[in-house]
Chains A and B, each alone.
Chain A
Amino acid sequence: MSSKTDDSSSMHRMTGAKMVVQALKDNGVDVVFGYPGGAVLPIYDEIFLQNEIRHVLVRHEQGAVHAAEGYARSTGKPGVVLVTSGPGATNSVTGMTDALMDSVPVIVFSGQVPTFMIGNDAFQEADTVGITRPCTKHNWLVKDTDRLPHAIHQAFFVATHGRPGPVLVDIPKDVQFATGNYVPPEQADSTSYRPVVKGDRQAIETLAELLERAERPIFYTGGGVINSGLEACQLLRQLVEQTGFPVTSTLMGLGAYPACGKHWLGMLGMHGAYEANMAMYECDLMINVGARFDDRITGRVSDFSPASYKAHIDIDRSSINKAIPTELPIVGDAGHILRDLLEAWLERGGRTQTESVADWWSQIRDWKLRDSFQYDNSGSTIKPQYAIQRLEALTKGLDRYITTDVGQHQMWAAQFMGMDEPFRWMTSGGLGTMGYGLPASIGVQIAHPESLVINVAGDASWLMNMQEMGTAVQYRLPVKQFIVNNMRLGMVRQWQQILHGQRYSHSWSEALPDFVLMARAFGCHGIQVTRPEDVDDAITEMVETDGPVIVDCVVERHENCFPMIPSGEPHNRMIFAEDVEAETDELISGAGSVLV
């Protein structure tokens, strides 16, 4: 309990609002994404009175969380958000759910009505901890100023340890005004949360032995490798190079192993490379590092990689056996386990079944010949794949970060843009949140002011959080919005074509804005490109323009994203462009032409 006469504690007495700012500094925070309102005014007042922590004013609280996600995923540090009570908090729910699904460390501070008004349906009151309980790792409603520093420090610990994720601290306004005792992080009460980091030695030995015996091995890696950090990515690269085994990755894990690496098979899954999916289907040893057998990856679970022995390295025990039963689970941090595994395997002599693995590679090379990302290019309309290929060609090698929205363009970006480093690819994987890309690009640019940050967007996704263009302009963030504009909800349209008898129910916009005029309205540069021969110039202009740019890249409207594992089919039943080609022609001349 606090005591006014105690000298040592009186030195740390301060208001709850000041504690928030002090705790942010003590936890190494340099930037906060937020939006003020009645219930957080005392905290905003404290932010006004200092210069160490930068505040970025977003235009909608969902944007604040996505920006914090972009910041976190491009730096490995937690992202911090500050919102007001009621609508401020509810607007942040989508962002937190997104961060939970994709394991992104985000700390959200929300204001709350004063403690004596909680439960009275006060103005801008919402049961924030109740609403956000299922979309956070943990949350706190702090009713006593003395407890506030403990809650904040615990929040940072929980968000960044174990499988990272979002947390929320809800602070009533009277708690912000009241004075209490502040303690620094090292003196805060700890939680009982103690995730396992080191993997079981015996299991790692067994896996090392399996590396020696496997004839058709594959590394299947996920976002967990990147979340573990640079060292884990280095170890993965080392292990892949030294074993010579093929490696594929989920959407979230792109960049952990470089796309230019010679053992790279490309992304796997619903729109992944044919060779990656076939290798997953036919392998005899699957080494899952930090991925969770998501349904976009597995397809039909009963036919998932039927002949393989599966090892699963995951820091979250609940990921083990959730979707796919695994023979060899190893719970712990990917970095620790990869180090121990590499060590154990080298100690045993670092052997593999060289001949069998060579045969396996020749099989994989055969599958590669299928060239599953191929598409028919056009001389008259811009094919979306072509636009993204050119974007890749003209920005490769630059100090580049890519964010995406959600849909066809996201899958094409994953297929055609090679990530050679981790922390460079920010996309909404688990939740599939349209509108993620623009605010995420803002968060990335804040963290990397000198780098080239490109949001590969779709027209429909981009509109969902386009208000954040105001943020980009206000803070002079030179984010490049590359909108692959097909005037459709492309992925929805694709599914309707393939699975719903070409009944295009509400999957196009009849009133798209003029994106170039919109750029002017926001106060930034806009470029429209409609002809394939102008794509390169548009991209170059975009990259060379100092400041934020919106590119309206008008593309073929009915292009489908292939290859594709239809939902509910196994890996070896992918479909390709030619499987539905005939129907597409018919579509454009028939019912589809009405939409043009």
Chain B
Amino acid sequence: MSPLKLERGVSNRSAYDLRNPVEVSETHTIAVLVDNEAGVLARVIGLFSGRGYNIESLTVAEIDHTGHRSRITIVTRGNPAVIDQIRAQLERMVPVHEVHDLTVDGDTIERELALLKVRGTGSQRVEALRLADIFRAKVVDSTLESFVFEITGTSDKVDKFAELMRPLKLVELARTGVVGISRGV
């Protein structure tokens, strides 16, 4: 037993210095089934901002119009302890019915949809169309000097397509964020 002799004027003994910053950060996709009531999205987002969790992407839509259920898909980053906390914090919210960590559950399909407006004429325009074909993007709108492409796929695929389109005068990009579902029954 050796009681500590404190130095004077030491003010950095804060509880906030205690967290261990060197831990592996993982990306997880979490699906949350909620009652589609007023403010439910604000509740979920408020939980993330209030407790300092990341949101990399978020999608939400009502999936059951009679039962008024919505599915929120959140892509988040954090160390395993944080991911576990996110799940536990979500599960204890009153309007939350189910929480699925699709990344932990294993075999899942994740998709994102994007719309890209590319402006150009001549060879650039042809090149854009050719690349769109390779990526299986659809032309959903066309003028003599622009295309709107629709592409569906993983976020990586959308990233790559957008990257290729940038030098070909990509002028506008809209993405939905990730939705996911597990394979099989």
Chain A residues with a Cβ under 8 A of chain B:
129-130, 133-134, 137-138, 141, 158, 162-163, 191-193, 195, 278, 295, 300-302, 316-318, 320-322, 325, 370, 498-502, 566-569, 572-576, 579-580, 583
Residues of B within 8 A of A574 (CB): 3-4
Contact B43 A133 (CB under 8 A): yes
B39 interfacial contact with A, CB 8 Å:
yes
- Please pick, from A191, A317, A325, the residue contacting B92 in the complex, using a CB distance under 8 A: A317
Instruction: Annotate B1-13 by CB proximity to A: 1 below 8 A, 0 otherwise.
Output: 1011110111101
- Whether B3 lies near A579 (C-beta < 8 A) is yes
> Are the C-beta atoms of A579 and B6 separated by less than 8 Å?
yes
Report B64 CB to chain A, min CB distance, Å: 13
Q: Are B17 and A568 in contact (CB under 8 A)?
A: yes
Do A130 and B42 touch across chains, with their CB atoms under 8 A apart?
yes
Residues of the A chain whose Cβ atoms lie less than 8 Å from the Cβ of B5: 579
Say which residue of B6, B43, B81 sits within 8 Å of A575 (CB atoms).
Answer: B6
Whether, in the assembled complex, B61 has its beta carbon less than 8 Å from a beta carbon of chain A, the answer is: no
Measured between beta carbons, the chain A residues less than 8 angstroms from B56 are: none
**B88–chain A nearest beta-carbon distance, Å:** 4
Tell me the minimal C-beta distance from A300 to chain B in angstroms.
6
B143, chain A: closest CB distance, angstroms? 40
Pairs A–B under 8 Å by Cβ, sample size 20: A130-B42, A133-B39, A133-B42, A137-B94, A138-B94, A192-B95, A302-B18, A317-B91, A318-B85, A318-B91, A321-B85, A499-B10, A501-B8, A566-B6, A566-B13, A568-B15, A568-B18, A573-B3, A573-B4, A580-B6
Most chain B CB within a 10 A radius of its CB, from A278, A316, A498: A498
For B46, the chain A residues whose CB sits under 8 A away are 133-134
**Chain B residues whose C-beta falls within 8 Å of the C-beta of A141 in the assembled complex:** 38-39
Determine the distance from Cα of A567 to Cα of B4 in the docked complex, in whole angstroms: 12
Q: Is A501 in contact with B92, judged by CB distance below 8 angstroms?
A: no
Within 8 A of A (CB), among B118-142: none
Q: Are A317 and B88 touching (Cβ within 8 A)?
A: yes
Contact of B14 with A by CB under 8 A: yes
**B18 and A300: CB pair below 8 A?**
yes
Measured CB to CB, the nearest residue on chain B to A499 is: B11
- Tell me which residues across on chain B come within 8 A of A322, comparing CB atoms: 85, 88
6 extra interchain contacts, Cβ-Cβ under 8 A, other than A191-B95, A320-B88?
A130-B39, A162-B92, A301-B18, A317-B88, A499-B10, A572-B1
Give Cα A456–Cα B59 distance, bound, in whole angstroms: 51
Instruction: Scan residues 92-131 of chain B and give those whose CB is less than 8 A from a CB of chain A.
Output: 92-97
In angstroms, how far is the closest chain A Cβ from the Cβ of B104? 15
- Chain B residues contacting A162 (CB-CB under 8 Å) are 92
Chain A residue at smallest Cβ distance from B91: A317
Q: How long is the Cα–Cα vector from A489 to B94 in the complex, in angstroms?
A: 39
| Cα–Cα, bound, A498→B50 (Å) | 32
